[in-house]
């Protein structure tokens, strides 16, 4: 019984850890888009010439 | 507060380790290891990355140690996660600079004994190694407390990887395919996704597991599974299960596909189309196609690659399909009023997949430039040395395996001392792939030198690809850290059964479809 409870707590902890540092999914998506595009633009500026 | 000070110390230690690595690297301590792993070319990159991130870790360590923690966005989004971020970056460096090259080397060394390259067949690259390393850490010593907040950034960085992936493809790839092939790929991608969704309902697996498995099995592999995970709120263990299922099924296919193809006398074009449709993982499509090719040929590989690339372009459509399926189910479960399909798509469609589409559009419009840049101008810089010309002449005179067009291209190369047009370039590139005249076609041999003098890869795309691999390596180590053995046990064996049923159905049906629809042209 105690083992089951511990396992449940462990899974819950893992699920919580899987949550993002962002408060909402959309914020995470938009930030990842901005970052990815910023990386692409910087690479184009630095590498292309 | 004491706990927070510990975070600062962890960051300082990570920084010191990275800076020490850079210093020792510059002092030549790792030269032997790098030469053994064939990573000497990346020495500069290793040095600068270790210095940059080491410096950043030290800076954050100092700030974390002296500053009182507050409840600002700076604390939540930067200072708190940063020790964990540095921890993940350090582990990604280990995977990319040491573990991946080491397994690659073992693959080559064991090939004569095993008869196949275990690195490529079992996909023992940074994808697999990243997840496994993360899982080992979390299931043995556990994730340090100071790193737990930073681990939460892995999903965010994985999304950056999927967005960057869009830049690697362009609409030009589709132009190589005929209408029938395109319809066939669409049918099998959509068909497999729908089949897995139905099987999920029959076997009563959680919707999140079914959804992520459907995309992984239907489209192809890791990136597709990552892209669909947030749409169906999949857990890390479910994502790992999907990746495991795809790789396991691919290994079996690697051995069965070429045997079956040869038994029924499939042409290279037919086999390439079948492998590119039926095998779920990109690397394994390439390996099976190469195994089918006659020695010195790459005809099957080319077809397999085109089919494989086209599959991934269906990713946004599959994500929309999943959003509608998952959104409708959520409404039913909650007993709420059914929402319109349009509203579900707007609400559930992950915005970062739009990033993938925008990158793909930009790549198709050559915003990042063409895949390769050629310059056939007749000048000394583009010409081969006399000794290289003589080597080529000797091969033309003695090698009986050369085709007429290859002989002609080599003779023109001898006459002009350089490659002069696209047609000649294409014939010579195919020749290097066939490996029938290794004396002149090996990586540092005359034909390859002549090719590289007139054609150089697009540096922007190459650097973007490198960044994409870093994003995936970082994200997958973090993903692995969120998977416990107990969470995998909880998922049970049913997802594996569903994946295998769908995989076998796809492989068998596409086998007949290819024999029926595909002849010599795709």
Percent of chain B having pLDDT more than 70?
92
Task: Pick the residue of B155, B469, B478 with the most A CBs within 10 A to test the interface with A by mutation.
Answer: B155
How far apart CA B177 and CA A17 sit, in angstroms, is 44
Q: Is the pLDDT of residue B325 over 90?
A: no
> Where do the domains of chain A lie?
21-49
State whether B155 and A26 contact (CB < 8 Å). Answer: no
ipTM over 0.85: no
Task: Determine if the pTM surpasses 0.95.
Answer: no
State whether A32 and B355 contact (CB < 8 Å). Answer: yes
pLDDT digits (tens, 9 = 90+) for B470-485: 998 998 898 888 877 7
The DSSP bridge partners found for residue B373 are B456
Nearest CA in chain B to A11: B487
pLDDT range class, residue B296, cuts 50, 70, 90: low
pLDDT digits (tens, 9 = 90+) for A8-49: 555 554 444 445 667 777 888 899 999 999 999 999 999 875
State whether A40 and B167 contact (CB < 8 Å). Answer: yes
Please give, rounded to a whole number of angstroms, the shortest distance from the CA of A1 to a CA of chain B: 15
State whether A29 and B81 contact (CB < 8 Å). Answer: no
Structure tokens at B270: 């037919």
- Note whether B143 contacts A: Cβ–Cβ < 8 A: yes
State whether B484 and A11 contact (CB < 8 Å). Answer: yes
B241 burial level (CB within 10 Å; 0-12, 13-18, 19+): buried
**B5-19, B345-359, B374-388, B483-497: which has the minimum mean pLDDT?**
B483-497
Q: Is the pLDDT of residue B486 over 80?
A: no
- Note whether B235 contacts A: Cβ–Cβ < 8 A: yes
pLDDT digits (tens, 9 = 90+) for B229-280: 878 888 877 888 888 888 778 778 877 888 898 888 888 888 989 998 888 8
Asked if residue B237 lies in contact with residue B483, where contact means CB atoms within 8 angstroms, the answer is yes
**pLDDT for residue B361:** 92
- Note whether B464 contacts A: Cβ–Cβ < 8 A: yes
Report A:6-35 residues touching B (Cβ under 8 A). Answer: 7, 10-11, 14-15, 17-22, 25-26, 28-33, 35
**pLDDT for residue B48:** 95
Q: What is the mean pLDDT of chain B?
A: 84
Structure tokens at B36: 């053994």
pLDDT digits (tens, 9 = 90+) for B392-443: 888 888 877 788 888 888 899 889 889 988 888 888 888 877 767 777 877 6
pLDDT digits (tens, 9 = 90+) for B131-188: 889 989 989 998 888 898 888 898 889 889 888 988 888 887 777 777 888 888 899 9
List CB contacts of A22: < 8 A, sequence separation 6 or more. Answer: A28, A31, B77, B156
Please give, rounded to a whole number of angstroms, the shortest distance from the CA of B235 to a CA of chain A: 7
Over residues B298-306, mean pLDDT: 78
The DSSP bridge partners found for residue B457 are B372
pLDDT range class, residue B5, cuts 50, 70, 90: low
State whether B486 and A11 contact (CB < 8 Å). Answer: yes
Nearest CA in chain A to B148: A17
**pLDDT for residue B102:** 94
**pLDDT for residue A11:** 53
**pLDDT for residue A16:** 44
Q: Shortest CB distance from A36 goes to which of B80, B143, B164?
A: B164
Q: Which chain B residues have a beta carbon less than 8 Å from that of A24? A: none
The DSSP bridge partners found for residue B374 are B455
The DSSP bridge partners found for residue B455 are B374
Structure tokens at A26: 């959309």
Report B:497-516 residues touching A (Cβ under 8 A). Answer: none
**pLDDT for residue B95:** 93
CA angle, B161 then B229 then B174, to 5°: 60
Number of continuous H segments (helices) and E segments (strands) in chain B: 29, 2
Asked if residue B197 lies in contact with residue B388, where contact means CB atoms within 8 angstroms, the answer is no
Over residues B288-299, mean pLDDT: 71
CB-defined contacts A:B, below 8 A? 102
Nearest CA in chain B to A29: B352
**pLDDT for residue B159:** 87
pLDDT digits (tens, 9 = 90+) for B30-89: 999 999 998 888 899 999 999 999 999 999 889 888 888 788 878 888 888 889 999 999
State whether A21 and B77 contact (CB < 8 Å). Answer: yes
**Long-range pairs, B292-299, Cβ under 8 A, ≥24:** B292/B257, B292/B258, B292/B261, B292/B262, B292/B266, B292/B268, B293/B268, B294/B268, B295/B435, B296/B401, B296/B434, B296/B435, B296/B436, B297/B268, B297/B434, B298/B430, B298/B433, B298/B434, B299/B268, B299/B269, B299/B272
State whether B155 and A11 contact (CB < 8 Å). Answer: no
Report B:434-463 residues touching A (Cβ under 8 A). Answer: 459-460, 463
State whether A20 and B155 contact (CB < 8 Å). Answer: yes
Q: Is the pLDDT of residue B369 over 60?
A: yes
**pLDDT for residue A17:** 43
The DSSP bridge partners found for residue B113 are none
- Note whether B76 contacts A: Cβ–Cβ < 8 A: yes
**pLDDT for residue B372:** 80
**A20-29, B14-23, B336-345, B488-497: which has the minimum mean pLDDT?**
B336-345
How far apart CA A16 and CA A9 sit, in angstroms, is 10
């Amino acid at each position: 019984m105690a083992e089951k409870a511990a396992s449940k707590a462990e899974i819950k902890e893992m699920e919580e850890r899987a949550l993002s540092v962002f408060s909402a999914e959309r914020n995470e998506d938009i930030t990842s888009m901005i970052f990815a595009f910023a990386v692409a633009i910087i690479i184009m500026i630095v590498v292309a010439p | 507060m004491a706990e927070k000070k510990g975070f600062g110390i962890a960051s300082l230690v990570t920084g010191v380790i990275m800076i020490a690595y850079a210093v020792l690297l510059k002092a030549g301590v790792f030269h032997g290891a790098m030469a053994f792993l064939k990573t000497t070319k990346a020495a500069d990159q290793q040095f600068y990355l270790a210095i940059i991130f080491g410096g950043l870790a030290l800076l954050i360590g100092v700030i974390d140690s002296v500053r009182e923690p507050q409840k600002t966005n700076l604390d939540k989004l930067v200072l708190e996660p940063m020790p964990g971020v540095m921890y993940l970056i350090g582990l990604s460096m280990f995977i990319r600079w040491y573990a991946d090259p080491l397994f690659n080397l073992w693959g080559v060394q064991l090939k004569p004994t095993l008869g196949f390259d275990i690195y490529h067949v079992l996909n023992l690259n940074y994808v697999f190694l990243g997840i496994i390393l993360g899982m080992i850490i979390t299931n043995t010593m556990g994730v340090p407390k100071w790193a737990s907040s930073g681990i939460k950034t892995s999903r965010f960085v994985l999304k950056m990887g999927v967005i960057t992936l869009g830049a690697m493809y362009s609409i030009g790839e589709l132009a190589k395919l005929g209408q029938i092939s395109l319809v066939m790929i669409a049918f099998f991608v959509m068909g497999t996704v729908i089949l897995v969704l139905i099987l999920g309902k029959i076997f009563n697996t959680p919707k999140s597991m079914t959804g992520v498995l459907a995309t992984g099995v239907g489209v192809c592999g890791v990136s597709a599974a990552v892209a669909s995970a947030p749409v169906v709120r999949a857990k890390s263990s479910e994502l790992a299960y999907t990746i495991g299922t795809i790789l396991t099924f691919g290994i079996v296919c690697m051995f069965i596909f070429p045997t079956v193809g040869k038994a029924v006398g499939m042409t290279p074009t037919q086999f390439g189309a079948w492998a590119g449709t039926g095998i779920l993982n990109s690397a394994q499509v390439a390996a099976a196609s190469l195994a089918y090719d006659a020695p010195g040929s790459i005809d099957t590989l080319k077809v397999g690659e085109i089919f494989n690339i086209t599959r991934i372009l269906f990713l946004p459509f599959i994500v929309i399909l999943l959003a509608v399926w998952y959104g409708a189910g959520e409404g039913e479960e909650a007993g709420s009023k059914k929402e319109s399909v349009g509203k579900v798509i707007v609400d559930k469609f992950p915005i970062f997949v739009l990033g993938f589409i925008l990158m793909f559009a930009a790549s198709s419009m050559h915003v990042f430039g063409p895949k390769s840049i050629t310059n056939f101008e007749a000048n000394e810089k583009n010409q081969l040395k006399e000794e290289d010309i003589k080597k080529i002449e000797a091969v033309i005179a003695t090698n009986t395996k050369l085709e007429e067009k290859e002989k002609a291209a080599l003779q023109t190369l001898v006459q002009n001392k350089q490659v002069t047009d696209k047609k000649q370039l294409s014939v010579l590139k195919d020749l290097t792939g066939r490996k029938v005249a290794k004396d002149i076609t090996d990586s540092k041999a005359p034909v390859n030198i002549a090719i590289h003098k007139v054609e150089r890869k697009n540096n922007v795309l190459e650097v973007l690809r490198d960044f994409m691999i870093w994003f995936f390596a970082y994200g997958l180590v973090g993903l692995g850290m969120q998977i416990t053995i107990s969470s995998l046990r909880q998922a049970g064996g049913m997802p594996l059964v569903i994946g295998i049923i769908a995989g076998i159905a796809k492989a068998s049906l596409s086998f007949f479809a290819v024999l029926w629809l595909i002849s010599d042209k795709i």
